[in-house]
Structure 1
Amino acid sequence: MSQIVHTQDRIIQVILAPQITEKATFIADKHNQVAFKVRTDATKSEIKAAVELMFKVEVKAVTLLNVGGKVKRAGRSFGKRNDWKKAYISLKPGQEINFASGE
């Protein structure tokens, strides 16, 4: 495999938002993982670099999940939400991301 060089701008744009749900909170407490909504074209290495750069933590592993958009209906017309990608970030022991303080 070829080595891909990631630019600073690309790495910053990879993470879109944290997933703050009941399931994400449970996983964070039990498995020391954090869930993020990421770009659909993001790779594991880009996501790892982005989390380490933005939150100053050490990442052990990255697991990706493609989420299909829901089909929605308004009257007689149907529409579909966009597909998106979720990343579960496993942190090394002793590492923590606290969204309340921004670190």
Structure 2
Amino acid sequence: MDYTQILLRPVISEKATFVKEEDGQVIFYVHDKANKIEIRKAVEDAFKVKVTGVNVVRRKPMPRTKFGKVTGKVPGFKKAYVTLAEGDKIELFEGV
């Protein structure tokens, strides 16, 4: 897979900003079939940085209920917490 297919979009939220400032990690939504090695190579190729670690979190799909009845399904996703080397940063996240 190409890195444009592996990295779907960055996570920009309060928690993601806090993790970036405290631990030097950036968070991406990634393809469901991507593994840690592919995610590491995709981030290094896309942003020209050195990655020291990758942690993956998966949330399974859940039923959507309204007034006790199942009305649909909330889709699941896969997130990757990418730890960058000391001194490296991704310009996409600066100023957010």
Pairwise TM-score range, normalised by the shorter structure: 0.7 to 0.9
Q: Matched residue pairs, number? A: 93
Equivalent in 36, 56, 76 of residue 83 of structure 1: 76
Residue 74 of structure 1, CA deviation: 5.7
Greater strand percent: which structure? 2
Of 47, 66, 69, which residue of structure 1 is paired with 2:58?
66
Give CA-to-partner distance per residue, 1:9-50, whole Å, 9 cap, x none.
Answer: 533310000000110000000000000000111000000000
Residue 100 of structure 1: how far off its partner (Å): 5.7
1:100/1:19 CA distance change after superposition, 3 Å? closer
Q: What is the aligned-residue identity percentage?
A: 37
Gaps in structure 2 of 5+ consecutive residues: none
- Residue 85 of structure 2 aligns to which amino acid in structure 1? K
What is the Cα-based RMSD across aligned positions, in Å?
A: 1.8
The unaligned stretches of length 5 or more in structure 1 are 1-8
